A and B are shown apart, each in its own frame.
Chain A
Amino acid sequence: MNKRSKKLLLILVWWHWLGVRNGVRAAWGNNRRELVLVVAGVAFLMVYNLASIYSSLMDVAPIVRSAWHRILLAEMAATMMIGATCGRLCGRWAGRQISAAWLAVLPWPPAERLRAARLACFTVGGVLTPLPAFCGWGVGHAVAAPHQAIATAALGLGFMVAFLTASLPGAGRNIVADADDVAEPAQPRVAVVWRLVERLDRMAPRWAGVWAQGDHGRFISRWWLANLLAAGGAAGAITLTQGWIWPSVVISVVGGNLAYMMALVGAPLLSPVLRSSPVQYGVAWGAMARAPLALSLLWSGVAAVPALIVSGAAWRQALGGLGVLMTLNLLFSVAVAAVPSSRRQAAMLYVCLLCVIIYQGLEYGMAYGALAGVAVLGVAGLLWRQARRRFRGHA
Chain B
Amino acid sequence: MPERAEPLLEVTGLAAGYGRTTVVRDVDFCVQPGTWLGLLGANGSGKSTLLRAVTGQIALQAGRVLIGGVDIAAQPERAKANFGFAVDGGDLPEALTARQYLEMVGSIRGCACDDWPCGDLIGPLGLESWMRARIGDCSLGTRMKISLAGALLGGPRLLILDESLNGLDPVVSWRARGILRELVQDGAWAVVLSTHMLETVAGNCSAVVFLEAGCVTHRWDAADLQDARMQEGGFESVVMRALSPSLN
**Residues of chain A at the chain B interface (Cβ within 8 Å):** 29-32, 203-208, 210-215, 268, 271-273, 275-280, 392-395
Contacts and interface: CB of A to CB of B under 8 A. Distances in A.
A212 B95 CA distance: 8
Contact of A204 (B56, B59, B91, B108): B108
Per CB-CB distance, the 5 closest pairs between chain A and chain B, nearest first, are A30-B19, A204-B107, A278-B81, A393-B56, A278-B80
A393 B60 CA distance: 8
5 contacts: A31-B20, A205-B107, A206-B104, A277-B105, A395-B59
A207 B105 CA distance: 10
Contacts of B107: 203-206
Given A275-B57, A393-B57, A213 B95 contact: yes
Give the one of B21, B77, B92, B110 with max A CB within 10 A. Answer: B77
A215 B95 contact: yes
A231 B52 CA distance: 47
Nearest to A209: B95
Nearest to B85: A276
B94 interface: yes
A207 B108 contact: no
B56 A207 contact: no
Given A277-B108, A278-B108, 15 more contacts: A29-B19, A32-B20, A203-B107, A204-B108, A207-B103, A210-B96, A212-B95, A214-B94, A272-B52, A273-B91, A276-B55, A276-B85, A278-B81, A393-B72, A394-B73
A49 B236 CA distance: 66
B29 interface: no
A268 B93 contact: yes
B137 to A, nearest CB: 9
A30 B87 CA distance: 26
A294 B27 CA distance: 47
Interface string B29-63: 00000000000000000000000110111110000
A211 B85 contact: no
B95 A275 contact: no
Contact of B93 (A204, A211, A277): A211
B175 interface: no
Interface of B: 18-21, 52-53, 55-59, 72-73, 76-81, 83, 85, 87-88, 91-96, 100-101, 103-110, 136, 150
B87 A207 contact: no
B18 A30 contact: yes
A276 B87 contact: yes
Contacts of A207: 93, 96, 100-101, 103-104
A30 B56 contact: no
A172 B55 CA distance: 44
Nearest to A272: B87
Nearest to A30: B19
Contacts of A211: 93, 95-96, 104
A330 to B, nearest CB: 23
Contacts of B77: 278-280, 392
Contacts of A215: 94-95, 136
Contact of A272 (B53, B57, B81): B57
B29 to A, nearest CB: 19
Contacts of B100: 206-207, 210
Contacts of A277: 80, 105, 108-109
A31 B57 CA distance: 19
A31 B19 contact: yes
Nearest to B54: A276
B95 A210 contact: yes
Contact of B87 (A273, A280, A394): A273
Contacts of A279: 77, 80, 108
Nearest to A211: B93
A169 to B, nearest CB: 27
A278 B87 CA distance: 14
Contacts of A213: 95
A343 B37 CA distance: 41
Contacts of A276: 55-57, 80, 83, 85, 87
A279 B106 CA distance: 12
Contacts of A395: 59
A389 to B, nearest CB: 8
A7 to B, nearest CB: 31
B91 A394 contact: no
B184 to A, nearest CB: 21
Contact of A273 (B56, B72, B78, B92): B92
A204 B100 CA distance: 12
A198 to B, nearest CB: 11
Nearest to A187: B134
B109 to A, nearest CB: 7
A257 B75 CA distance: 35
B78 A278 contact: yes
Contacts of B108: 204-205, 277-279
Contacts of B21: 29-30
Contacts of A32: 20
A353 B213 CA distance: 44
Q: Which of A32, A273, A394 has the most CB of B within 10 A?
A: A273
Contact of B104 (A208, A392, A393): A208
Contacts of B150: 273
B9 to A, nearest CB: 14
B59 A393 contact: yes
A392 B20 contact: no
